[in-house]
Amino acid sequence: MMGSGLVPELSVSDIGRSLSFYCDVLGFGVRYQRPDEGFAFVEIGGSGLMLDQLGLGRDWLTAALEPPFGRGINLQIEVESLEPIVRRLSEAGVTLFQPVETKSYPVGDQVVTQRQFCVMDPDGYLLRFCEIV
C-alpha cells in the first residue's frame, strides 16, 4: 500500500501552510490525509513525504525543536523537470536557497550529472530537487 521503502515524516508548525507550499507551489499531490491529526501524505513523481503538525495527535520528538527545523539534512527529490517548480516558486516570491546548477557526481565507476536547486520549506527543511541530464 505505501509503495516506498523510505518515506520521511516532517514535523511542521502549520499543516495548512505546509500543504499550501508543497501542493500549490511545489506541485505535490495529496495521496491521503488525516485532518483531525494534522497529517498528510504528499507525493511528487515517485517521491513521498509525510507532514505532521506538531501538537495534534502523536509527535515523534527526541528533543525540543527550534526553527529552522531541518538543520543537518537535505532531502533530494528527483523529478522529470525542474522548470515548472522553479516557475511556481518564482511566481510565489520564494527565494531559492541554492540557485539552479548543473553538477556531476561520481557514483561508483560512473558519473551522474544532474540539474538541481535547493529551497527551504516554511519550517526550514531543505529540499533539493534534481533532474538527471
Residue with cell 495548512: 16
- The chain-wide mean pLDDT, for the chain, equals 92
Question: What cell was used for 131?
Answer: 533532474
**Between β-strands 47-53 and 9-12, what pairing exists: parallel, antiparallel or unpaired?**
parallel
Domain count along the chain: 1
Grade residue 49 by pLDDT with cuts at 50, 70 and 90: very high
Q: What is the pTM of this model?
A: 0.88
Question: What cell was used for 6?
Answer: 523510505
| Number of Cβ atoms within 10 Å of the Cβ of 40 | 24
CATH number at residue 100: 3.10.180.10
> Within a domain: residue 15?
yes
> Within a domain: residue 1?
no
> Within a domain: residue 77?
yes
> Within a domain: residue 110?
yes
> Within a domain: residue 112?
yes
> Within a domain: residue 32?
yes
> Within a domain: residue 3?
no
**CA-based nearest residue to 86, from 113, 118, 112:** 118
Percent of the chain having pLDDT more than 90? 78
> Within a domain: residue 34?
yes
Predicted local distance difference test score (pLDDT) of residue 1: 45
In tens, the pLDDT along 65-119 reads 888 898 889 999 999 999 999 999 999 999 999 999 999 999 999 999 999 999 9
Query: Tell me, what amino acid is at 70?
Result: G
Query: What's the DSSP call for residue 101?
Result: E
Range of the domain at 93: 9-56+68-132
Position 129 pLDDT exceeds 80: yes
